[in-house]
Amino acid sequence: MPQLTSEEINLLLEAVETWKEMMPVDGHELAEMMSGVLLGDKEQIKAAMTNVHEEARRKRILRKEQGILIQAKLIQIRDSRDVNEAAEFLKKGDQ
């Protein structure tokens, strides 16, 4: 199995950081807001906005938690690989 380089791992860490911060909005939530706008129903618009905000907050928190776990695993892989490279270097130096 091919191994990732430190540069590739760092790129993945940056990508996960960006992914964690993205604001998810589902199509049905957007449709609900637009329906309220078209009907002129202020209460429907307000309720839809509240629902969108709460769902986005929940998804953002979940995404951040998942992102932290992914980043931790990537750091663990990177550090393990660096330790293995250092051990190989030291073995060669002892010979």
Give dist(CA 51, CA 4) in Å, integer.
41
Predicted confidence (pLDDT) at residue 77 exceeds the cutoff of 80: yes
CA distances from 8 to 3, 4, 87 (A): 10, 6, 21
Give the number of C-alpha atoms closer than 13 A to the C-alpha of residue 42, restricted to the C-beta side: 0
Nearest 5°: the CA angle 32, 37, 42 is 95
Predicted confidence (pLDDT) at residue 86 exceeds the cutoff of 70: yes
Q: Look up the pTM and report it.
A: 0.61
CA distances from 22 to 53, 64, 89 (A): 13, 10, 41
Task: Work out the average pLDDT over 83-95.
Answer: 82
| pLDDT attached to residue 59 | 84
| pLDDT attached to residue 74 | 92
Confidence of residue 65 (pLDDT cuts 50, 70, 90): very high
Predicted confidence (pLDDT) at residue 1 exceeds the cutoff of 60: no
